[in-house]
Amino acid sequence: MQANDDLQSRWWKLEEKLMERFGRKPDMETILFLIGIQEFGDIKAKFSKEQKQDLMHVATCSLLSQSGYYEMERVDEEGWPHFRQLKALPVMSLPEQENFLKDHILLYFDQQGF
């Protein structure tokens, strides 16, 4: 339980920092979208719905590459990164999946010096 408490308190601190930076509390999708933009490297005024989904996918693959689940295979001619899955993700309940992703997001922001 203490590990979950620590994860939750670190998560709240990240949300607080992001709220200070952007003026509102971000949800998980927004955080994935922000990471996707960072990894894609091209900030546009407007992304299509499909591009937003692609950015969240890029974010998820980038996050999970930290633990060896994915690796970047190539960047296409439009600048989009493509990933290859290296190993199967563990079977988890929905709350466990959310915590697994939160842990990877926290690691990502730590590595970014945020």
Residue ranges covered by each domain of the chain: 28-111
DSSP string, the chain: -HHHHHHHHHHHHHHHHHHHHHSS---HHHHHHHHHHHHH----S---HHHHHHHHHHHHHHHHHTTTSEEEEEE-TTS-EEEEE-SPPPP--HHHHHHHHHHHHHHHHHHTT-
Per-position pLDDT tens, the chain of length 114: 456 779 999 999 999 999 999 899 999 999 999 999 999 987 777 888 999 999 999 999 999 999 999 999 999 998 899 999 999 999 999 999 999 999 999 999 999 888
